Structure 1
């Protein structure tokens, strides 16, 4: 059974924890529109934090990482990876059941899309989307 989730307007951490629970339970999860996932908070601080993570593992200065992604779909996958036991076989197998896309591929146009209630929130504060962060980090995928 494949669960298809539309990430448009959902909260980053809440959605990541929901997805982590689902993949650890053996469910295959597909997240669409990763560039429209929202991170709440001061945009300047969020940009600074993500830029710092990328600069720590710059390939030009360090060869061993940690290598941090710049694309919106990979940023979300990295967040989910932090919520599962990555160093175990169970965690690695669970991570393989997660598929994240920027936009909506053709094969999922007619799919039944779910929107988890736990990842929704009325937003009345400052926020940034993963697409804006990705653009700030220099990704070419939009």
Structure 2
């Protein structure tokens, strides 16, 4: 009987200060390659653009559809992060669905991951000249999330 290969250690990524879309695309690629990814500090990732445009985008998304039939857009930072990564995966196909299941997103740092050394995604860092950006925590509060 063939041996089952050991799964790779999960990649732990600290999302503090990372641009949401750039980080999500890099994470989606890793997930499709079969790697498990754990994201910490999701609420500290940033969305670039003017405050009014970013808020208009997220409030329009939440207003779309109906409560019963959807589409259902999240309000909390970890769920917004997951939804953004899902948009970059072929989530309606089986390999995209299994890739999405390999993603874990946390607000803050859970106790079991305090000793883990997070990987840095330098390609997802904002440009130094960036002035207009909102954190996911700010967006979530403005959408009505009840954060501590």
**Which of residues 108, 124, 132 in structure 2 aligns to 1:119?**
124
Counterparts of residues 84-123 of structure 1 (less than 5 Å): 84-123=89-128
Query: In structure 2, how many angstroms separate the alpha carbons of the residues matched to 1:74 and 1:90?
Result: 21
Aligned length: 139
Of structures 1 and 2, the larger Rg is shown by 2
Query: In structure 2, how many angstroms separate the alpha carbons of the residues matched to 1:65 and 1:14?
Result: 26
TM-score, length basis structure 2: 0.90
Any gaps of 5 or more consecutive residues in structure 1?
Answer: none
Q: Is the 8 A contact 1:29 1:98 kept in 2?
A: yes
Q: CA RMSD in A?
A: 1.0
Q: What is residue 80 of structure 2 aligned with on the other side?
A: 75
Any gaps of 5 or more consecutive residues in structure 2?
Answer: 1-8
